[in-house]
Amino acid sequence: MRILLFLLLLASLPLLSFSHGSSSHPFVENKGQWNSRIAYSVTLPHGNLFIEKSGFAYHLMDRSYFRSLHTASPENPPEYINSHGLFVKFLDSNDDTEFNAEGQSSHYYNFLVGDQPRHASYVRSYEKVTYSGLYEGIDLAVYNTDYDYLKYDFIVSVGSNPSDIKAQYDGADKIYLKNGHLVIETSITQIVEQAPIAYQLINGVKVDVPCKFKLKDNVLSYRFPRGYNKNHELIIDPVLIFSSFTGSSADNFGFTATYDNAQNTYVGGIVFG
């Protein structure tokens, strides 16, 4: 039975053709290997972020389970995994928003998950994903930074209203504002979104716009105490989306590896976070 379980585990894992220099938090496209609601998935140290049309879905996990599984004896494996679900829903957003991905990686994934219909080959990953038209005249870009963080920007075009942006947080143990930052507590980890920065480019000059979070009944929005120039595009930049998700982005437990004549390396194992 242990041998069968081992083989099933391997069958559910992606095979990766490696290429150096790629993003530490790539946005992996969905080609049928996951639920159809998911457009892209990002692996994080405490689980996964799923990019969906209606919002962000987090699947957070306690990584200590996998470390204990790696060292535990076959006779006494850990019994369960501590996990936590969190969903950020963009209230009253457009149903017909489209995704645009940029920065395609040179490598690809092959997912061999379950039955043949769920297998997916040549699955690509990207450095940036943009929700085009999330709200009327408002786009949302999610991307990697040079500092190993994920960030998001709301791009508000001229004539659009930033007060349309409303994000409802469901599943958090506790959510509150502290010193201008948004603190989200879960059973697995604490997520902190730093106080937002907003700016405009006016005649080639970057003009800072005072911006603050507003939180009411677990719904997050933005306010501008001094207003802004409505004749120019506005960028709302909350600085960090997962400030507690830093450092190495993965725990890797390898079980098998091989290579081909083109000098690609293929590894099978468990990668979480």
User: What is the enclosing helix (H) or strand (E) of 2?
Assistant: helix 2-11
**Residue ranges of the domains in the chain?**
2-266
Residue 115 corresponds to which amino acid? D
Cα–Cα dist 50/16, whole Å = 20
**Of the spans 63-77, 174-188, 256-270, which averages the highest pLDDT?**
174-188
Q: 78, exposed or middle or buried, with CB in 10 Å at 0-12, 13-18, 19+?
A: middle
User: Does the pLDDT at position 109 exceed 80?
Assistant: yes
pLDDT reported for residue 235: 98
User: Does the pLDDT at position 262 exceed 70?
Assistant: no
First to last CA, the chain: 27
Higher pLDDT pick, 45 / 231: 231
3-state secondary structure of 67: helix
Higher pLDDT pick, 194 / 4: 194
Give how far the C-alpha of residue 259 lies from the chain's centroid of Cα atoms, to the nearest Å: 30
Cα–Cα dist 219/152, whole Å = 17
Mean pLDDT of the chain: 80
Query: The pTM is what?
Result: 0.78
pLDDT reported for residue 112: 82
Q: How many helices (H) and strands (E) does the chain have?
A: 2, 24
Q: For residue 184, count other CB atoms closer than 10 A to its CB.
A: 23
Percent of the chain with pLDDT over 70: 72
